[in-house]
Amino acid sequence: MRVGRAVIAVVAVLGGALVGGTSALGASTPAGGSIDFLATGSANGGGKILVTGAIGDHGKTLNIDANGSPDPNGQHVKVTLTKGTFEVDANALDAKTNKASPIFNQATCSAALSATGPVTLLDGTGLYKGITGTVSVNISIGFLLPRYTSGKHKGQCNTGNNANPVAVSEQIHGTGTVQFG
């Protein structure tokens, strides 16, 4: 019985120290170093992100233009985490993605493509003020296109520029190094 109470007391003390330590540590600027992130995207330009390593945080993403305005086709991304924000310049990655050829299945109107390229981190706020770094990102995109419901192409895949995909999935993974200062 004494051992059980001692273990509970130690756990309570350590738990309190960890909880107190978390808030104290959460207020200091990260040291920088390696990061790894996983993100999802969507057709409307938003998504979710989890960052591990030198940054341990999570939040959401939003595609923006170079001026910071929301733009589903923007080549910059605003990353809003729980402890601050930063921007990602994805121009080089977008250039690689735009050159990638999707693997298209005409029978199912489905396609997939992937590309790898660098992104640059900048313009941090909050805990991420002064962030810089380069991350190598792999993006995999899959989508299903609609079929024409009438006309001479009835039943065929609608591959036109104005076709809205039936479903889209973007999986994004990156690794790199960040600095603060």
Enter the tokens of residue 128: 């991420």
Q: Per-residue pLDDT for the chain (181 aa), expressed as one digit of tens each?
A: 333 333 333 333 333 333 333 333 445 778 899 999 999 987 778 899 999 999 999 999 999 998 999 998 899 999 999 999 999 999 999 999 999 999 999 999 999 999 999 999 999 999 999 999 999 999 999 999 999 999 999 999 999 988 999 999 999 999 999 999 8
Q: What is the pLDDT of residue 27?
A: 52
Domain layout of the chain by residue ranges? 1-28, 31-179
Q: How far, in Å, are 56, 110, 161, 162 from residue 75 at the CA level?
A: 25, 25, 19, 20
3-state helix, strand, coil in the chain (%, to 5): 20, 45, 35
69 contact partners, CB below 8 Å, separation of at least 6? none
C-alpha angle with apex 25: 121 to 132, nearest 5 degrees?
15
Of the candidates 97, 81, 100, 79, which has an alpha carbon nearest to the alpha carbon of residue 89?
Answer: 79
Enter the tokens of residue 22: 């978390």
3-state secondary structure 98-143: HHCCCEEECCCCEEEEEEEEEEEEECCCHHHCCCEEEEEEEEEEEE
68: number of Cβ within 10 Å: 12
Of the candidates 104, 98, 44, which has an alpha carbon nearest to the alpha carbon of residue 71?
Answer: 44
pTM of the model: 0.78
Contact 159, 145 (CB under 8 A): yes
Q: What is the pLDDT of residue 20?
A: 36
- 3-class DSSP assignment, residue 159: coil
